[in-house]
């Protein structure tokens, strides 16, 4: 079943590491929301007749939206797409936006899952990242959110300068002790043209240490396994039954429609992405035009896409899919993977090629070496 992603390109302030499309000016928020609704109508046939299984408000900071904006967007989607009555509907929210009223409003509007951008429970780390919230808000907002929502995920960042292994353990243990059913944990990445990239080049901030990141990732996998979480995708951990349906759809190669400036869409054979410019996006939509570029994926590209995404998951690269969907010769593919099997980075299990914990440290490089 297909999914819908909504990119809400507004933030209170710029996190130093972020390279997503956003603006800190809310001046044209109403125009963008209206355009997203109009784009939904223009794109109503993109997902075919498939019932929408998940809806995801990402960004940016979707928790900045007014209740009326959320309702307008969700009602427009329901008016033009068949939405499953039990669809997973996620809202990304920053701790500083969370109040009892907002939580109640979000639940009333139909939101049933929260993704909270915590990143760290230490004040010095949040200041280093230029996050808008404080450490006390990170903790109190989660406790408050748990009064309204069972299905909550939080983001944590590891491998940043100043984050010792002990502090990292405290971050992870805090989330576990709170009973959070899902965690997304990311190594700090220095993306080109971000404020962090510039500050490091000016030697005003310390660069990341890849060895520290690797060590903290290995520790993370150990701690989460001991706490009973499934490591179902490289960056994602869930208690049994609490996997993200929306993110899983990406890794399973399902159709998804992206609405909003910079949003991406995929239907199995074609990828498209909207302009990363709010004004140009709004202007095009108002004229009834789709401000998107497209790429038709060749059979080889589709295969490589499957290898890249499947290798990140707990199920791994399934031989049946390689053979039946992509006409891959399994002995030839196994020969390409043989070196990694020998070194203990890949195991063959249940008809699949699956990364070991050590292999997950090299996931991107291993995937690239297995491409056709």
Nearest-CA neighbor of 92 among 26, 41, 135, 155? 155
The predicted structure's pLDDT at residue 45 = 95
Strands 264-266 and 292-296: unpaired
Burial class (CB in 10 A: 0-12, 13-18, 19+), 193: exposed
* pLDDT at res. 86: 97
Q: Mind listing the pLDDT tens digit for each residue in 248-273?
A: 999 999 999 999 999 999 998 899 99
pLDDT band at 27 (very low <50, low <70, confident <90, very high): confident
Domain 299-370 CATH (choose: 1.10.10, 1.10.760, 2.60.40, 1.10.3470)? 1.10.10
Domain covering 3-251 in this structure, CATH number: 3.20.20.70
Tell me the mean pLDDT in the region 211-221. Answer: 97
pLDDT tens-digit series, residues 274-317: 999 999 999 999 999 999 999 999 999 999 999 999 999 999 99
Helix, strand and coil percent figures for the chain, each rounded to 5: 40, 20, 35
- What are the distances in angstroms from CA 194 to CA 18, 19, 88, 275? 7, 6, 32, 19
Backbone dihedral angles phi then psi of residue 168, each to the nearest 5 degrees:
-60, -40
Residue-range domain boundaries for the chain: 3-251, 299-370
Dump the DSSP string for 282-322: HHHHHTT---EEEEEPPHHHHHHHHHHHHTTBSS-EEHHHH
Could you tell me the two tokens for 32?
Answer: 């963008």
User: Would you state the pLDDT for residue 40?
Assistant: 98
Give the pLDDT score at 300. Answer: 96
Q: Are 103 and 147 in contact (CB under 8 A)?
A: yes
* Model pTM score: 0.96
Q: How would you classify the pairing of strands 3-8 and 256-259?
A: parallel
pLDDT tens digits for 81-102? 999 999 999 999 999 999 999 9
| pLDDT > 90? residue 369 | yes
Listing DSSP states for 234-282 in one string gives TTEEE-TT---HHHHHHHTT--EEEESTT-EEE-SSEEEEE-S-HHHHH
């Amino acid at each position: 079943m297909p999914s819908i992603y909504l990119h809400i390109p507004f933030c209170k302030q710029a996190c130093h590491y972020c390279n997503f499309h956003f603006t800190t000016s809310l001046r044209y928020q109403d125009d963008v929301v209206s355009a997203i609704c109009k784009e939904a109508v223009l794109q109503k046939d993109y997902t075919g007749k498939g019932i929408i299984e998940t809806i995801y408000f990402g960004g940016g900071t979707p928790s900045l939206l007014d209740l009326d904006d959320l309702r307008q967007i969700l009602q427009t989607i329901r008016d033009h797409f068949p939405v499953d009555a039990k669809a997973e509907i996620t809202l990304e929210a920053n701790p500083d936006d969370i109040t009892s009223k907002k939580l109640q409003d979000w639940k009333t509007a139909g939101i049933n899952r929260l993704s909270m951008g915590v990143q760290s429970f230490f004040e010095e780390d949040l200041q280093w990242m230029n996050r808008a919230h404080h450490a006390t808000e990170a903790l109190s907002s989660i406790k408050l959110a748990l009064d309204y929502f069972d299905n909550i995920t939080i983001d944590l960042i590891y491998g940043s300068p100043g984050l010792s292994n002990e502090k990292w353990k405290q971050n992870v243990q805090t989330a576990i002790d709170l009973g959070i059913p899902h965690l997304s944990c990311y190594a700090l990445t220095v993306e080109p043209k971000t404020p962090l990239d510039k500050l490091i080049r000016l030697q005003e901030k310390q660069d990341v240490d890849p060895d520290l990141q690797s060590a903290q990732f290995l520790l993370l996998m150990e701690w989460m396994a001991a706490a009973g979480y499934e490591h179902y995708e490289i960056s994602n951990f869930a208690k049994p039954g609490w996997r993200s349906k929306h993110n899983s759809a990406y890794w399973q190669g399902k159709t998804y429609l992206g609405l909003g400036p910079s949003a991406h869409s995929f239907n199995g054979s074609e990828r498209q992405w909207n302009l990363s410019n709010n004004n140009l996006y709004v202007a095009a939509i108002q004229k009834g035009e789709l401000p998107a570029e497209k790429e038709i994926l060749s059979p080889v590209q589709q295969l490589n896409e499957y290898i890249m995404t499947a290798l990140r998951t707990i199920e791994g690269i399934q031989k049946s899919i390689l053979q039946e969907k992509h006409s891959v010769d399994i002995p030839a593919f196994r020969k390409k993977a043989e070196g990694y099997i020998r070194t203990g980075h890949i195991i063959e299990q249940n008809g699949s090629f699956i990364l070991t914990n050590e292999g997950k440290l090299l996931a991107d490089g291993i995937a690239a070496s297995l491409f056709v």
